[in-house]
């Protein structure tokens, strides 16, 4: 049994919705292409200039001496192992 209701013109409505969905996805794809490919280097340069000093302000390098136990373990691991 096939349901067909011509009074509300369902096929035409579904076709319009499909066309609108395809147009919206196409518009998003074009915008993504424009932002990534055409203007990508511009935004990468802006990100390097503006965000790095602020985002990594808390980051610093601290040189700590290695614990003595670590050096001891390294010396023991270099000794040859006797097999009897």
Give residue-wise pLDDT tens across range 35-56: 999 999 999 888 777 765 555 5
Residue 71 and residue 78: Cα distance in Å, rounded? 11
Residue 14 and residue 8: Cα distance in Å, rounded? 11
Q: What pLDDT, on the 0 to 100 scale, is given for residue 71?
A: 55
Q: What pLDDT, on the 0 to 100 scale, is given for residue 79?
A: 60
pLDDT in tens, 8-33: 788 899 999 999 999 999 999 999 99
- For residue 60, pLDDT over 60 is answered with yes
Q: What is the mean pLDDT of residues 2-6?
A: 63
Residue 46 and residue 40: Cα distance in Å, rounded? 10
The token pair at 5 is 């209701």
pTM of the model: 0.49
């Amino acid at each position: 049994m096939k349901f067909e209701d011509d009074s509300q013109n369902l096929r035409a409505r579904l076709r319009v919705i499909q066309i609108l969905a395809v147009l919206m996805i196409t518009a998003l794809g074009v915008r993504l292409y424009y932002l990534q490919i055409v203007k990508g280097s511009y935004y990468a340069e802006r990100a390097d200039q503006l965000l790095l000093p602020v985002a990594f302000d808390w980051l610093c390098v601290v040189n700590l001496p290695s614990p003595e136990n670590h050096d001891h373990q390294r010396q023991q691991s270099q000794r040859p192992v006797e097999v009897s």
